[in-house]
Amino acid sequence: MTAIRIAPSLLSADFARLGEEVRAVIAAGADLIHFDVMDNHYVPNLTVGPMVCQAIRPHCQTADGRPVPIDVHLMVQPVDALIPMFAEAGASLITFHPEASLHVDRTLQLIRSLGMKAGLALNPATPLHLIDHVMDRLDLVLLMSVNPGFGGQAFIESSLPKIELLRKRIDASGRDIWLEVDGGVNARNIRRVVAAGADTVVAGSAVFTGGDYRHSIAALRDEAAGGKA
């Protein structure tokens, strides 16, 4: 297994100084910047849009100038109209929920046609078989370990066997598809999440709470290393 990717979620950052927060977590070792988009329709919350994504894009690079991907998670319905806007704003990956698209295959094609990686996000009660006929379109599957809509929720323990089943599905496909887990992941449970098969982990409160981002990300990596096969 490759090194675990850590994607700090800006939902837990200080929005009054977002550019500074992005630079700080990248300096602390973040692999991706997770960008949660909520519409107060598909989920009961309202967050940020393409203009904010565009504003943070210049900050998403390492000290030596290497670009750090923006991992956009669309919790919106419908999704297609926003995808070109986020492509123009500098998104690297776009993940959406199959329940929010009338034509999942077409939406995945749209994302890829604009030069971005494409992913599907599966809620705790969403069955895994929904990915079976679009595996050739997927670069990422995001498995939600909380119900979408709010940061700071507790990890749903029944997500662990679902991660294991999803890992088997991905491995059986023979494709290079990331398995990302989002929701309530912290230093106390990341080892089990990685042992179940995750290779990419979203962490909001676990990174931004406490102020020492480098220590928080290092603690996540240290614990994750104990779960790697």
Residues involved in catalysis? 36, 182
Alpha-carbon distance 54 to 218, whole Å? Answer: 28
Alpha-carbon distance 205 to 200, whole Å? Answer: 16
Strands in 3-116 per DSSP E: 5-8, 33-38, 70-75, 93-96
DSSP 98-113: GGG-S-HHHHHHHHHH
Contact 201, 5 (CB under 8 A): yes
CA dihedral (220, 183, 126, 92) positive or negative:
negative
Q: What is the DSSP letter of 209?
A: T
Amino acid letter, residue 176 = D
| Nearest of 141, 210, 211, 221 to residue 185 by alpha carbon | 221
Amino acid letter, residue 23 = R
